[in-house]
Structure 1
């Protein structure tokens, strides 16, 4: 076994070597932690205290994360001001803001946002619960894995738009078909992550749980799911992103409200300013929901992992 030597604690041989070096070169500084060819004023690595300070707090990371979007908006404004694009191809930032103000003034913007958020949250929750349940069953049962894994793998390969005509035929053009399509999109990421993670749970943990009398659902809830919490939340965050992606496809099903409808309606009417506004709103709202889920993930990992 190799004994641990704390930093800054030199062995007698090291002391002798340093004393000999000092006699040969009186101006030399004995070797030790922190010595070397680096800067004299405490700056050692590329990620120095200043960089760690800027990224060490959520506010600092948020400010740094805004740098690139601000640069892109400035470049966008410069390109439109210089006349590099026609207003139909790329309207100015001021035109996009004006379009947003107009939609907000008559209240339609808030209705579009509210109905889309409602659809995404419903589909995400239902798809997440199903993915967690079925992923747990297949991850824990060899028979269920053999029976269902090939079918689920085949269904996962079906493109989102391929479901639209079938859902219209089965469920009509109401909310049920739209939410069901989002459920399909949200299901597979969480299912895949939970299924794969449960397959790789440490068997010693499972045996220890069984030794304490845990079996079935109690074993899953007490031992196995806490062991895969990071994978579960990775799947949930992917599922939430997928839910927003499937939203646009869902709102192609005879919608009259929602951000997906606003997107296609703006395209049909040649309103590029509203089209870009919708894309920005989808990005911003999607990021906000992901950040909220990230906060829940941090608390869950601190509690269960």
Structure 2
């Protein structure tokens, strides 16, 4: 009773107009824009040396100049070709090895142990051996990308095959499906989500491997462009290269997510809200 009397004696709050709110997409851009403005201001005030980190304005100018001269497009196409070749080899090799190990106990005993031993080695440390084996041409760069990208594909597809619901396999067997039909219609579709996750991880490793690979006597590529800029202390061009790598990685990941939504349309509830 006492609390009700106190509340009734308090004056009502005046109605406030709802504040205008930015769309979610624009709200996500607020903090990056603020960081860029602070970065530019710190560079203009001399708090950040331009020799160590170029200001955003200089980076933007260098980007425009590289695009206008065609240098960026040329190096980008070279890097994309290397990643495409290495990733293609990794997908074929990783998928084949995962099928051998995942569909057969004997295959697992033969394949899995050597792969696990090689996987624990830092593949980027194999650059000297790759140069000794393959020379200093395109082969070691592509091989480095392929080696690093194959393991995420193998591990995730292997786990996906072994994670298929045994009840589905039993039901397919009761329906009279042959082993080939069982693999094609039950096991592979059930392992597809894990395989696409492995592909997303492989894309990230591929770009990381390419950064190192393009330091092996390269004459073109985004990594070569960055290494050449380092010799002249052009931090603006180095950061442009890093941003290109970041955008390419994000674009590749979004592409796989799009494929995932299309290929796994039979799982609309699980995919809802993940895009």
What TM-score, normalized by structure 1, do the two folds share?
0.76
Q: Which digits, 9 at most, give the CA deviation of each residue in 1:35-81, with x for residues without a partner?
A: xxxxxxxxxxxxxxx99x95xxxxx5x44443333232222222212
| Greater radius of gyration (CA) | 1
In structure 2, distance between residues paired with 1:202 and 1:146? 22
In structure 1, distance between residues paired with 2:137 and 2:36? 38
In structure 2, distance between residues paired with 1:67 and 1:136? 46
**Matched position secondary structure for 1:66:** helix
Q: Which digits, 9 at most, give the CA deviation of each residue in 1:201-246, with x for residues without a partner?
A: 1111112222233333432221011112221111111111111111
CA RMSD of aligned residues (A): 2.1
Q: Which residue of 1 aligns with 2:219?
A: 256
**Aligned partner (choices 79, 103, 106) of residue 116 of structure 1:** 79
Indicate yes or no: 2:135 matched with 1:168: no
In structure 2, distance between residues paired with 1:255 and 1:280? 20
Q: Tell whether the 8 Å contact from 2:160 to 2:193 is kept in structure 1 after alignment.
A: no
**Matched position secondary structure for 2:215:** coil
In structure 1, distance between residues paired with 2:148 and 2:68? 33
Comparing both chains, which one has the higher relative contact order based on Cα–Cα distances under 8 Å and sequence gaps of 6 or more? 2
In structure 1, distance between residues paired with 2:36 and 2:185? 49
Q: Tell whether the 8 Å contact from 1:138 to 1:145 is kept in structure 2 after alignment.
A: yes
Deviation of 1:120 after TM superposition, in Å, equals 1.1
In structure 2, distance between residues paired with 1:64 and 1:245? 30
Structure 1 218/254 Cα, relative in aligned 2: closer, same or farther at 3 Å?
farther
**Aligned partner (choices 234, 243, 246) of residue 280 of structure 1:** 243
**Matched position secondary structure for 1:84:** coil
Q: Which digits, 9 at most, give the CA deviation of each residue in 1:69-127, with x for residues without a partner?
A: 32322222222122211111111111111112222222111111111111112212221
Q: Which runs of 5+ in 1 are unaligned?
A: 1-49, 55-59
Deviation of 1:292 after TM superposition, in Å, equals 1.4
Structure 1 254/223 Cα, relative in aligned 2: closer, same or farther at 3 Å?
same
Deviation of 1:159 after TM superposition, in Å, equals 1.3
**Matched position secondary structure for 1:302:** coil
**Matched position secondary structure for 1:228:** helix
What TM-score, normalized by structure 2, do the two folds share?
0.84
After TM superposition, list the pairs within 5 Å mapping 1:1-305 onto structure 2: 60=24, 62-303=25-266
Deviation of 1:303 after TM superposition, in Å, equals 4.6
Structure 1 180/217 Cα, relative in aligned 2: closer, same or farther at 3 Å?
farther
Structure 1 79/220 Cα, relative in aligned 2: closer, same or farther at 3 Å?
farther
**Matched position secondary structure for 2:37:** helix
Structure 1 63/139 Cα, relative in aligned 2: closer, same or farther at 3 Å?
farther
Q: Which residue of 2 aligns with 1:38?
A: none
In structure 2, distance between residues paired with 1:133 and 1:109? 36
